[in-house]
Amino acid sequence: MSAGMELIINHEVKFFESAPVSLAELMQLEAPGKTKGVAVAINSQVVPKTAWASTELRDRDSILIITATQGG
């Protein structure tokens, strides 16, 4: 983890003092243990799960986390 970073997650500004370096690290913080039924986009670009570990985050990135729900 690097120095502080501000990220916009689901339209909410969040500040991380110890910033996650990769999308995989962020997902462990935001949705621990959830990988099934989860889609993530950074700056309107969908990131496949296979790329989470190699996707670096930058200050002020806009991240959308979508979780599938059952029922209806």
DSSP 8-state code for residue 49: G
Residue-wise pLDDT tens digits, 20-56: 989 999 999 998 888 789 999 999 999 999 999 999 9
Chain centroid to CA 49: 11
Nearest-angstrom CA–CA distance, 72 and 58: 36
**What number is the average pLDDT over the span 9-16?**
96
**What number is the average pLDDT over the span 1-30?**
90
Nearest-angstrom CA–CA distance, 28 and 20: 9
DSSP 8-state code for residue 31: S
Q: Residue 72 has what pLDDT? A: 57
Q: Look at residue 2 and tell me whether its pLDDT is greater than 60.
A: no
Q: Residue 49 has what pLDDT? A: 95
Closest to 39 in 3D by CA, of 49, 26, 29? 49
Pairing verdict, β 62-67 and 5-9: parallel
Q: Residue 71 has what pLDDT? A: 66
Q: Is 29 helix (H, G, I), strand (E, B) or coil?
A: helix
